[in-house]
Structure 1
């Protein structure tokens, strides 16, 4: 009985930690989307990993890339978070974002944690699905 209680406590602790981790990841993505909507490139840039920041070097260059390469991220409509997956120790958050014309785009956000803070280490377009119901 004691073993069962310990196992249940460990499972519950892991489950609670996973939910908190997923919530933190989703909030990071939401915060960056909100910054783009407000044209706050400096804040949006802070949610990018050091690797991404090193590639684009400035909030303005980063914003230009997002505006031209990911217009659904630049001015998102409806945002729906799907699953969080782990592959080879890296977490990937799948997100469906509706663009201005109402088309739904499925994107995968690669997430890394640095000093306890989640950062976006890449975004990949998976599919254009149509409208979000």
Structure 2
């Protein structure tokens, strides 16, 4: 009876643990995205830049150039009126999180921003790219 109970508990833990780990990855990625959007809305180039992956930082080695690029190419996120997290998708064991962010810009247009979040060696997530799609309904990832 004790052995059967232990087997049951181990099976339950093996099912619940990966789901909890996946949710942690999504939550951590969402926190980074929210912090970067907050930094952008306050024109805090240094903070916004700190959430970019090393690959993005290598393309834009100066935080001022990075902020200018975001202002021009990602205006709906840069000046988001409101946003909400949509669906997410884990790739690999959480090395990549694709996170849908539904954005309403101050100009009244609705957008979907699909963030690619990369897991860094230190265990943090960084923004490794954003794809903008102008629409009002979720199209999936």
The one-character-per-residue Cα deviations of 1:71-112 (angstroms, maximum 9, x if unpaired) are 111111111101111346632111111100222101110110
Q: Which residue of 1 aligns with 2:80?
A: 76
The structure with the larger Rg is 2
Question: Which residue in 1 is equivalent to 2:127?
Answer: 120
Shift of 1:31: 0.2
**Other-structure match for 2:117:** 111
Aligned-residue CA RMSD (Å): 1.5
C-alpha separation in 2, matches of 1:67 and 1:49: 18
CA distance in structure 1 between the aligned counterparts of 2:115 and 2:50, rounded to whole angstroms? 15
**Equivalent residue for 1:52?**
56
Q: Mind listing any 5+ residue stretches in structure 1 that lack a counterpart?
A: none
TM-score (norm 1): 0.90
TM-score (norm 2): 0.85
Structure 2 residues without counterparts, runs of 5 or longer: none
- The answer for the alignment partner of 2:136 in structure 1 is 129
Cα deviation 1:14-36 (Å, max 9, x = unaligned): 22211111111000000000001
Runs of 4+ in structure 1 over 4 Å off:
none
CA distance in structure 1 between the partners assigned to 2:119 and 2:68 by the alignment? 25
